[in-house]
């Protein structure tokens, strides 16, 4: 974005005219700070993730300009028995943060057909999730500039979804990196949910009041166990907390808790129809 347009956007987002005095005429000394302030004001990134977000958006824009096909219509290349047909996977610069994956860049890999099946699944899911997260970023950017409760709720919902996707991307990337560098092939069940597990779960809307309450209690119990693991790195509480460090394992547990919280909120909504009937 052109610097002056960026200043105008920041003032429009924050309604703070003082930013004109702070940034005007300082396009050589404060462009990075301007980018950070815009990301923060738009609730798209924080002090840790703003650079990643900007580079990600730039990568999407460059892809749109340099390719004849639409970025979101991207498909994995057809594999042929040749070393020239190298597939690509978007990977982060670093996998240390739990809030986001670093900006993506492509690396040359061998043909997908030469990978173990579990690694192929990881590559495909990573590509799909990365594109989905980019779409969600675009949706947030295009949302109306309003503090209305409905808009704020929708913005928060999208932000939580982006964070969950980022956590999943980090897990997939770390697993793929372990394979590339050390030849470690993970058990499929440690990376993906067992086939049929999702289908085996009952539809919440079909449950009666007692079943809903039981389901809620089970979810809360599972969350409590995971929270203990995050705080003590064990299933049992001790006198001194030893928080689990940031990394793929912590991200995976936090994502599980977030998913259960969504189900708990859904159950609480369904239980409202039983209120006052006792």
Q: What is the pLDDT of residues 113-161, one digit of tens each?
A: 778 888 988 988 888 888 888 888 888 888 888 888 888 888 888 888 8
CB 49 within 8 A of CB 43: no
pLDDT of residue 167: 86
Side-chain-facing half-sphere of 68: CA atoms under 13 Å? 0
pLDDT of residue 79: 39
pLDDT of residue 137: 82
Label each residue of 62-128 as H, E or C.
HHHHHCCCCHHHCCCCCCCCCCCCCCEEEECCCCCCCCCCCCCEEEECCCHHHCCHHHHHHHHHHHH
CB 176 within 8 A of CB 126: yes
pLDDT of residue 70: 36
Give the angle subtended at the CA of 236 by the CAs of 175 and 167, to the nearest 5°: 25
CB 190 within 8 A of CB 248: no
Structure tokens at 193: 């949910």
pLDDT of residue 125: 87
Residues of the chain with pLDDT under 50: 64, 67-109, 195-200
CB 223 within 8 A of CB 260: yes
> 147 phi and psi, to 5 degrees?
-105, 15
Provide the residue ranges of all domains of the chain, joining segments of one domain with +. Answer: 71-191, 197-274
Cβ neighbours, 10 Å, residue 170:
27
Q: How far apart are CA 49 and CA 92, in angstroms?
A: 12
């Amino acid at each position: 974005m052109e610097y002056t347009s960026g200043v105008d956007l920041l003032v429009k987002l924050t309604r703070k005219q003082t930013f004109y005095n702070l940034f005007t005429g300082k396009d050589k000394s404060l462009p990075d700070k301007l980018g950070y302030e815009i990301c923060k004001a738009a609730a798209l990134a924080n002090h840790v993730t703003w650079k990643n977000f900007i580079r990600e958006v730039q990568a999407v824009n460059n892809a749109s300009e340099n390719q004849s096909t639409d970025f979101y219509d991207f498909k994995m290349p057809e594999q042929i028995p040749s070393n020239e047909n190298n597939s690509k996977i978007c990977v982060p610069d670093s996998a240390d943060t739990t809030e986001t994956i670093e900006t993506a860049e492509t690396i040359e890999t061998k043909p997908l057909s030469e990978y173990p099946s579990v690694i192929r699944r990881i590559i495909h899911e990573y590509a799909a999730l990365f594109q989905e997260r980019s779409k969600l970023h675009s949706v947030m950017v295009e949302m109306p500039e309003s503090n209305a409760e409905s808009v704020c709720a929708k913005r928060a919902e999208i932000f939580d979804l982006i964070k969950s996707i980022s956590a999943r991307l980090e897990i997939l990337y770390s697993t793929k990196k372990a394979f590339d560098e050390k030849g470690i092939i993970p058990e499929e069940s440690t990376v993906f949910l067992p086939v049929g597990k999702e289908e085996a779960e009952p539809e919440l809307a079909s449950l009666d009041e007692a079943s809903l309450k039981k389901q809620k209690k089970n979810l809360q119990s599972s969350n409590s166990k995971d929270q203990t693991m995050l705080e003590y790195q064990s299933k049992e509480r001790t006198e001194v907390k030893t928080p689990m460090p940031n990394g793929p394992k912590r991200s995976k547990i936090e994502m599980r808790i977030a998913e259960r919280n969504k189900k708990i909120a859904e159950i609480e909504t369904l239980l409202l129809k039983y209120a006052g009937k006792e």
